Structures are given as C-alpha cells and as structure tokens.
Structure 1
Amino acid sequence: MNAVLIAVLVMLILSLLRINVVFSLAVGALIGGLVGGISLIDTVSIYTDGLGNSASVALSYALLGGFAMAVSRTGLPDAVVQLALKIVGKEGETKKKSLSKVLILLIILIISCFSQNVIPVHIAFIPLLIPPLLKVFNQLKIDRRLVATVITFGLVTPYMYLPAGFGKIYHDILFTNIKESGLTIDKGDITTAMALPALGMVVGLLFAVFISYRKPRTYEDIDIDQGTEERTGYTTRGIIVALLAIVAALTVQLLVDSMIFGALAGIVVVYFSGALKWNEADPVLTNGMRMMAFIGFVMLSASGFAKVLQETGDVEALVKGSVALIGGNQMLGAFLMLVIGLLVTMGIGSSFSTIPIIATIFVPLCLELGMSPMATICIVGTAGALGDAGSPASDSTLGPTSGLAVDRQHDHIWDTCVPTFLHYNIPLIIFGWIASVIL
C-alpha cells in the first residue's frame, strides 16, 4: 500500500468524522510513516522535526490576529458594519436584500483577491473584516458556506493566474522548479497556461453563488465575546489611525518580507496612537492571538505531516505506479498527475510547498509522454494548486473559518472544506485536464 495515499485518506476520513484537524494530521502522519516502512520512533522524530518548518508561519498568524484585534479598537470594524447596515437598509427591507447580498459578497470577493496581488496581506484581513459582519450576514440570511467559497476563491485564483504579489511567488516557484527538472520555459507562458484552470475556478464560484447556496440560511444572533469592553462607535481619528496602522503593517511586511514584523509595526502604531491603552493591551492582543491560534497549530501539524510523507519516498512510488497504468496515453497521464497533485496538496495544505515535491517527477514524465511545454506548465501548476481549496490544513480554508466560526455556528470541515473542495477542485481537475490536452 502507498504510504502517501493511506496517510491522506486517514487524515481526511478523521476530519470528515469531525475529529480535530491537528489530531487527524498527527494520526495520519503516524500511520503513513508506519505504512512507509519507517519505525514508530523514527516517524515521531521526523514529525517533530518537521514542526519547526512552519514555526514562523504560526507566529505570523498569531500576531496578525493580535493586530486585527488591536485595529478593532480604533473603531474601523464598527464603521464597516455601519456602512453595511446602510447598504442593507433598516431591518433589511426585502426590496434591498438581493442587491445588498450581491454588493456585500462582491466587496468581500474584491478584498480577498486584492489580499493576494494588490495588497498582499493574505488572510490578515479576515479576522478584521468578517466577525463584525456576521450579524449583517444573519440579517440577510446569507449562507456562510457561500461566504467561505467567495473568500477561498479570492485566496487561490489570483495567485494561480496573476504574476503579482503572492502570484509572483507562485509563478517564480513554478518556473524555477520546472527549469531545474529539465524543461526550459518562458515565465510569461505561465499566465497563458493557467488561464483555463483559472476559468474553472470562476465556474465553480458562479455555481456556488447561483445554484448551491442561493437559498437563505438562518443563524442565531450570538454576541461574540472577544475579551474586550463594549465599543461605543468610531471616530474620524480612529479610522485614520486604523488606516495608518494597516499601511505601516503592509509597508514593513513588503520591506523586510516578514508578516511577523509587519504585524508588530501595525500594533505599535495603534499603541502609540492612544487607541489602545497600555493597561488594556495584553488581554486585547491575547484574545486576538487566540482567535488565530487554531490556524497556527494546524499549520505546524501539517508541516510535520508533510515531512513524514517526504521521508517515506512514496510520492515518487505513487507516480511510478501510475506510469504503469498510463501506457503512453497523454490524456490518462495528465488526469492521473492532477489527481496525485490533489492528494499531495490535500495532505500538506500548501500549493507553494507542493510544487517542489511534484515538479521533479512530473516534468520528466510529461517529457516522456511527449507533452508540450505549455501543457507541462499547466499540469504542474494546476496539480500544485489542486487541494489548496478544500484541504483541512490549508490557510485558504482555515482563514475563512477563523472569521466565520467565531460564534461557533460554522464548521471548518463541513461548512468550509467540503464546499470549497466540491466547487473548486472538481472544476480545476476538469479544466486543467482539458487545458493539458489542447495546449
């Protein structure tokens, strides 16, 4: 039995049974290591060593949570809510509901896309924007599964297609690893090759909006206890401070390439503005970190999981096993490579980390099957992105859950992972496979 396949299936089955994702990843890694011929002690050691690979990411998310909570004390979220209520209208009059839903979802979609390419703050905007809007969602009876799919679209599609912000990083990783694996390509061809897979994501989004989650869904209005005193509203000065803090955080992040110090810079601005009193700072930041702590723990566990999978060597074995089934058939080969990419990314939760793992195997296989450079780019790029939407360990699903589940009415697996998996991974496989055949 293939260790990678067994480990990922165990992790997914446990997650679907509502077992904690961190625990599911740990158990999946343990079983995967044993199936892969690694001793129990060595598996535990490899898993533990792998945890350190995501330590900086975990700390980044914790500090981003603290930064979001600090900014909330400036009154910016209150201003957002008041604006949303004006859009909705008093008591959400029926005649305005449809337009209000579309407008609010469109704003969330634009901000999500901008967070990847224009203002690369990644998921930092979610704990700042989404929790204050939950009561507005409730008033409009918006299905939170739809909000999750909208946010995840914005977190994944832009970096797949556009070579800017996080997209530039993804395209650089894709270009470098394909080149090092023996195929010289033009970096400008990546956008063209990824056009059809990106279109598949658009189709999935439209299906979610107009078919799957168009019906209203009722939630309870539950007060969110974030460990802070009741805010009285917002002021112009508070909004200016919030904007300055966001600009400072973004500037520092881009200058030193560190979300950790970017978040610290934003917190310092809020501190010295007086919007956050020194004697209130500790509980405010602690509660903000707690809000994002779950993401940090999952990312740590996913890093250990990925380390165990790599040490088994069964990713390559999985590909070689598939080669025997391909028999020189390009269409079957493309499909199997996409499925393998889905399995790997679903397990480790990071498309950026998947590319180096699969490129060294997929590129020679594509060349052996006589596929064009454009088709090869499409297969490797799509296979890497597959699973990012839908993986329990991906920040593209953990991020939406962190904002939508603060009142405990949104489940990470069934309300974020399953909807995003169905609406994005299935179209990605279909459109990626079509693109690999016609390119």
Structure 2
Amino acid sequence: MNAVILAVLVMIGLSLMRIHVVIALITGAMAGGLAAGFSITETIEIFTGGLGSNVTVALSYAMLGAFAVGISYTGLPNLMVKAAIKIVGREGEARKKTLTKVLLLFIIAIIASFSQNLVPVHIAFIPIFIPPLLKVFNELRMDRRATATALTFGLKAPYILIPAGYGLIFHDIVATNMEESGMQVDMAMIPQALMLPVAGMLVGLLFAIFVTYRKERNYEDVELTAAEESNQYNYTGAGIAVGLLAVIVVLYSQVMTDSMIFGALTGLIILYLYFGYLHVRKKLSISQSEQLLTNGMKMLAFIGFVMIAAGGFAEVIRETGHVDLLVEATSGLVGNNHGLAAILMLIIGLFITMGIGSSFATIPIIAAIYVPLAAAIGLSPMATIALIGTAGALGDAGSPASDSTLGPSAGLNADSQHNHIWDTCVPTFLHFNIPLIIFGWIAAMIL
C-alpha cells in the first residue's frame, strides 16, 4: 500500500477513535515509514529531524496564550462579554436569539477573514477574542461547531481568493511553483481560477449555519481563570486602556515584524508593567501574575505539541518518495480523461494536505505533481491553477494538524467543552472539503 495513504489513514482513524492527535501523528508516521521500507530507527530519525520545522510556531502560540489570559485581568474581555449579554438579553424571544446567533457567526467569520488580508495576524486573534465570548455563546445555546466552521472559513477562504496579506504569499507560492514546474501563469489568473472553489466554501458555511448546526446545544458556564472568578465584570478605566493598548501594540508589532513571537512579547511587556503597578497598589501579587501567564501558556500548549509532531509527520511523508508513486499510478489510470484526472488529482491533494496540515507547505509538492500531469493530458493553465489551489485548501480545513482547525479548537475549548476532532475537524471537513471537491472539479472542467 502507498505509504502516504497508509500514514494519513492511520492518523485520521486513530484521531476519530479519540486517540490523542499527537499519538495519532506519531503512529501514522511510523506506519508510513515502515510501509516505505524504512526501519524503525530510520523512521524515528526522519521524524525527529522534522520536529524543528514548527517549533517557532509552537512557541508563538504559547506566548499568545499567556497574553490572552493575562489580558483578561485588565477587564477588557469582561467588558466585551457584559456588552454582548446586554445586547442579546437573557430572556430574548427565540426569533431574536436566532437572528443574534446568525449575526454573531457572520461577524466572527468576517473578523477571521480580516486576519488573513487586512490585518494579517492569522490565528493570533482567536485566544484573545473567543474565550471571553464563550459565556455569550452559552447564553444563546449556540452550537460551537457552527462557530468553528465560521472561524475556519475566515482563516482559509480569504487567502485562497484575495491576493493581499497571506493571500499574496499563497498566490505567489502557487505561481512560482507552477512556473518552476514548467507552466507559465500570470498572478491575475489565480483569483479568477479560484473564485468557484471559494464559492463552494461559502455554500458549506451557509449550510452549516442554517441547516446542520442551527439547533440549540447546551454548555455549562465554566470560569476560565481565577481572575475571572474574582473579578467578573469588575474593570477600571485604566485597565481597559491598558488592555486596548496591549492589543493594538501586539497587532501592530506582529504586522510590522511578521513575527507572532515578537508581537506577543510586546504585549506581555505592557501587561507586566500593568501587573507591576497592581502589585504596588497591592491588588495583585507577583505569584498571581505568574500563575495567570502560566495558565495561558498551558491553554495553547496543545497546539504547540501538535504542530511539532505534525512537522515530523510531514518529513516522513516527504522522505518516503511515495508521493511520486501516487502520481505515476494516477497518470496511468486517467489517460486523457479530464474529468477522471481532475477528481483523482483532488483526492491526492486531500491526502497529502491532510497529512502535512498546511496548504502553504503542500503547494510546492502538489505543483510538482499536477503541472506535468495536467500538461500531459491537455488541461489549461486556468484549470491547473483551480486544481492546485483547491487541492492545497483540501484537507487543511479538516486536518487535525492544521492551524486552521487547531486555532479555533484552542479558543472554543478554553473551558474544556469542545473536542478538537469531532467538534472542529469533522464539521470543517464535511462542510468545506466536500464542496471544494465538487466546485473545484467543476472549475477544472469549465476553465
């Protein structure tokens, strides 16, 4: 059996069985390495060699978690929650609650979209923005699977379609790798080719909000930190000002330096100064402030470990050489049948991206596979762009190792009531990957 397919199937199967995703990634990598003919020792060495590729991201998330929980003590998140609850009303009619939920989900999707193009901070806003709103979600009895779907849509669709921020990077990677593989394309062609696949994602989002997860779901109100328990809705003008300043500085620093680590560091420095002021006023002890930040790091430590393990998994997949074998087998099956070729290419992209967990990282692999195959069977450059862009997006939305699913899970699971696999990965896989395959295939056929 092809090592790539086996590794991904093992990883997904174990994840669906509620085996911890880090263990699933390691086991899947071992299965893939052994299937490729590596010894256990060789597989471990390759896996270990790939662990460092995502260490920077893991550290970034840990620092952002510390910042997110630290800022809760300024009172800014509590002010947001109080305002939201006042708008919603505790005894609102069913229709009012339904409209409020829909509006809130669309606002979340729009804010997430801004994080890709307008203010390119990616998932950095989630641990700051989502945990304070969990009580509002609970008050509305909102199904968090709908929220996860809205967040993942905003984290993916804009950069696939719009050539700004992360979108400009994504489009440049697509164009550069297609040209290196022998097919000349213009950057202006990419948004046109990917418009239909992104429309498929929008259809999936609307279906999730209005059909699949429209019913109410009950959650318990759980205090996130000791700070919230003792300071609920207690805030001062100084605290709100510090909170706003910290958020603005974090976003500005991250955009200017393109570093989540530096952005979080600047915010933490501001919070430390504020905590020092509170310590002088005897309102917060040094040990309490340290505990706050430590709890924040723990909140996002899960993402860090998964991303590190995903780096090792991806390295094993690349080193097996079975991606090329997968391509050769596909080209032998399709002949000159464009429709069959397109669907098989998309399925291959799904497996590769599900395993590696990043559309940005898989585009070079996918382009090297798709461009020669598309040229051989006579697909146009526009059709090839549609297939490459769609295949890059496929799997990323539903992959247990993708930051587009890990980020939403980290925010929504701040009170330990949201499962990463069944409440984020499965919903996003069903509502985005299925429409992406359908609309991506249609785009390849008509372009």
Normalised to the residue count of structure 1, the TM-score between the two structures is 0.97
Secondary structure of the 1:183 match is coil
The number of residues matched between the two structures is 439
| 1:184 maps onto 2:192 in alignment | no
Which residue in 1 is equivalent to 2:344? 336
Q: Is the 8 A contact 1:92 1:139 kept in 2?
A: no
Which residue in 2 is equivalent to 1:129? 129
Distance in 1 (CA, whole Å) between partners of 2:94 and 2:342 is: 49
Which residue in 1 is equivalent to 2:252? 251
**Residue type matched to 2:262 in 1?**
F
Distance in 1 (CA, whole Å) between partners of 2:228 and 2:49 is: 37
Change (3 A) 1:224 1:246: closer
Deviates most, 365-374 or 41-50: 365-374
Which residue in 2 is equivalent to 1:206? 206
Which residue in 2 is equivalent to 1:147? 147
Q: Is the 8 A contact 2:397 2:425 kept in 1?
A: yes
Q: How does 1:148-187 map to 2 (within 5 A)?
A: 148-187=148-187
- Aligned with 1:289 (options 273, 297, 310): 297
Distance in 1 (CA, whole Å) between partners of 2:231 and 2:97 is: 27
Q: How does 1:71-86 map to 2 (within 5 A)?
A: 71-86=71-86
Change (3 A) 1:243 1:222: closer
Q: How does 1:225-236 map to 2 (within 5 A)?
A: 225=225, 230-232=230-232, 233-236=234-237
Q: Is the 8 A contact 2:396 2:404 kept in 1?
A: yes
CA apart distance, 1:235: 3.0
**Residue type matched to 1:316 in 2?**
D
Q: Is the 8 A contact 1:91 1:139 kept in 2?
A: no
Secondary structure of the 1:230 match is helix
- Aligned with 1:419 (options 427, 430, 433): 427
**Residue type matched to 1:239 in 2?**
I
Distance in 1 (CA, whole Å) between partners of 2:116 and 2:236 is: 29
Deviates most, 263-272 or 236-245: 236-245
**Residue type matched to 2:106 in 1?**
L
- Structure 1, unaligned stretches of length 5 or more? none
Which residue in 1 is equivalent to 2:374? 366
**Residue type matched to 2:101 in 1?**
K
CA apart distance, 1:272: 2.4
- Aligned with 1:302 (options 310, 322, 325): 310
CA apart distance, 1:215: 1.0
Q: Is the 8 A contact 2:58 2:305 kept in 1?
A: yes
CA apart distance, 1:95: 5.0
Deviates most, 23-32 or 409-418: 409-418
Which residue in 2 is equivalent to 1:351? 359
Distance in 2 (CA, whole Å) between partners of 1:89 and 1:36 is: 59
Distance in 2 (CA, whole Å) between partners of 1:226 and 1:173 is: 45
Normalised to the residue count of structure 2, the TM-score between the two structures is 0.95
**Residue type matched to 2:409 in 1?**
T
Distance in 2 (CA, whole Å) between partners of 1:38 and 1:45 is: 10
CA apart distance, 1:229: 5.9
Distance in 1 (CA, whole Å) between partners of 2:227 and 2:296 is: 9
Distance in 1 (CA, whole Å) between partners of 2:278 and 2:401 is: 33
**Residue type matched to 1:309 in 2?**
I
Change (3 A) 1:33 1:276: farther
Q: Is the 8 A contact 2:102 2:209 kept in 1?
A: no
CA distances 1:353-407 after superposition (whole Å, capped 9, x unpaired): 0101111111111111111111111111111111111111111111111111222
Which residue in 2 is equivalent to 1:45? 45
Change (3 A) 1:432 1:226: farther
Distance in 2 (CA, whole Å) between partners of 1:322 and 1:261 is: 45
Identity %: 60
Which residue in 2 is equivalent to 1:105? 105
CA apart distance, 1:228: 6.7
CA distances 1:266-306 after superposition (whole Å, capped 9, x unpaired): 11122224577571432121111110010010000011000
Q: Is the 8 A contact 1:65 1:124 kept in 2?
A: no
Change (3 A) 1:227 1:33: farther
Deviates most, 392-401 or 280-289: 280-289
Which residue in 1 is equivalent to 2:267? 266
Distance in 2 (CA, whole Å) between partners of 1:281 and 1:182 is: 56
| 1:405 maps onto 2:397 in alignment | no
- Aligned with 2:324 (options 316, 336, 341): 316
CA apart distance, 1:85: 0.5
Over aligned residues, Cα RMSD in angstroms?
1.6
CA apart distance, 1:220: 2.1
**Residue type matched to 2:293 in 1?**
L
Secondary structure of the 1:19 match is coil
Distance in 2 (CA, whole Å) between partners of 1:226 and 1:206 is: 37
